[in-house]
Structure 1
Amino acid sequence: MSLHPPIPALERAFEVTAELGPLEDHGMTRVGHRRIIPVIGGTITGIFEGTILAGGADWQTVRADGSIEIDGRYSARSHDGELLYVRARGVRSGDPAVLEALLRGDDVDPESYYFRAALTLESATRPELERSVYIASYIREAHRVRYVAYRVT
């Protein structure tokens, strides 16, 4: 019997390319500077294959230091009609000049900023996807976001 918990590892699970609509800047609200970025389409490949559906969004809160709290929610549909709900909670942070360049839509080396999230998956037809913890590493581009999700073993 082991007296120590298992050491987690990462197993590549899926990749997402999410196409984004124009940023909606709600300004300073009671919780902080609120921005909403619509998800208008995209693809998911790997342990789930399908199309990202329009209608999701990333509800962001910009912190005083310029870092961004990520709260992304969207759905995907597989080629045979299965649905997957994805929720991503994370942080994008970095040097203020780098964050401004990302906001402008400039191409920025993903090594120059931090953009990670914890993912929760829901699926009525693929319950095995709900039994694991996932984390993702992102790249922000002008009109889309790309990430690789890893299952924590």
Structure 2
Amino acid sequence: MTSAALDRALVTSHSPVPISLRFVFRLTATLATPIAIGDSGQGLRKVVPLTGGVLESKADGQLGEGAFDGAQCVGGGADYLTVDARGLSRLDARYVFQLKSGHYLYFQSSGTRYVPPGDDEASRLLSSGSDIDPRRYYFRLKLVLESDDEDAGVQGACRSIVVASAVRGATSIVYDAYVVG
């Protein structure tokens, strides 16, 4: 049997595993006043320093097993974003948390935030930094986690794809993070 025939046989005899999501933690963080860098041709660049934050997880016997619970943000993290002429924000955030075990967790997120076309009031509220109902806009992220903590829950999340849904308040941000199974 040729290589191409083997590939066809594999594709027809197996299906990809269905995707599931499993809650792993909630990030709640406070933010400083955004620093507007300006528009360099890529959109309006802003940097939003993190002033504090905590992770909360559920010790439910599932992935995480509470290993992230109570992790505290250590200084220096920030959200870096550009906002284009259509209101699409592209985000890149980098934080460091100290887990209760004493180990550190590097946390990087990237994603998009936008208001669907036609909701001018929501666009105005979001661009001004006002509180807004999270159902009025899209805010989703992919997370990259790294740690030398040997806890199985921590390492399981670090090896996996982690996605989040987020909401931005006037001075805070909340992510609900899920491991893709």
Aligned equivalents of 1:19, 1:130: Cα separation in 2: 24
TM-score normalised to the size of structure 1? 0.92
Q: Which amino acid aligns with 2:44?
A: H
Q: CA deviation at 1:7?
A: 0.8
Of the structure 1 ranges 10-19 and 118-127, higher mean CA displacement relative to structure 2 is found in: 118-127
Deviating runs (4+, > 6 A) in structure 1?
Answer: none
Q: Report whether the alignment pairs 1:101 with 2:125.
A: yes
The aligned counterpart of 1:111 is: 135
Selected match of 1:25 from 5, 13, 36: 36
For each residue in 1:19-52, what CA deviation from the matched residue of structure 2 results, as whole angstroms up to 9, or x when unmatched?
A: 1011000011243321000011110011312111
The aligned counterpart of 2:108 is: 87
Q: Report whether the alignment pairs 1:73 with 2:121.
A: no
Q: Which runs of 5 or more structure 2 residues have no equivalent in the other structure?
A: 1-9, 58-63
Contact 2:42 / 2:84 at 8 angstroms: preserved in 1?
A: no
Aligned equivalents of 1:96, 1:121: Cα separation in 2: 35
TM-score normalised to the size of structure 2? 0.79
Of the structure 1 ranges 122-131 and 35-44, higher mean CA displacement relative to structure 2 is found in: 122-131
Q: Is the alpha carbon distance of 1:96 and 1:24 closer, same or farther for their aligned partners in structure 2, counting shifts above 3 Å?
A: farther
Q: Report whether the alignment pairs 1:56 with 2:88.
A: no
Q: Which has the larger radius of gyration?
A: 2
Q: Is the alpha carbon distance of 1:65 and 1:23 closer, same or farther for their aligned partners in structure 2, counting shifts above 3 Å?
A: same
Aligned equivalents of 2:90, 2:120: Cα separation in 1: 15
Q: CA deviation at 1:97?
A: 2.9
Contact 2:157 / 2:179 at 8 angstroms: preserved in 1?
A: no
- Choose between structure 1 and 2: higher strand proportion: 1
The aligned counterpart of 2:23 is: 12
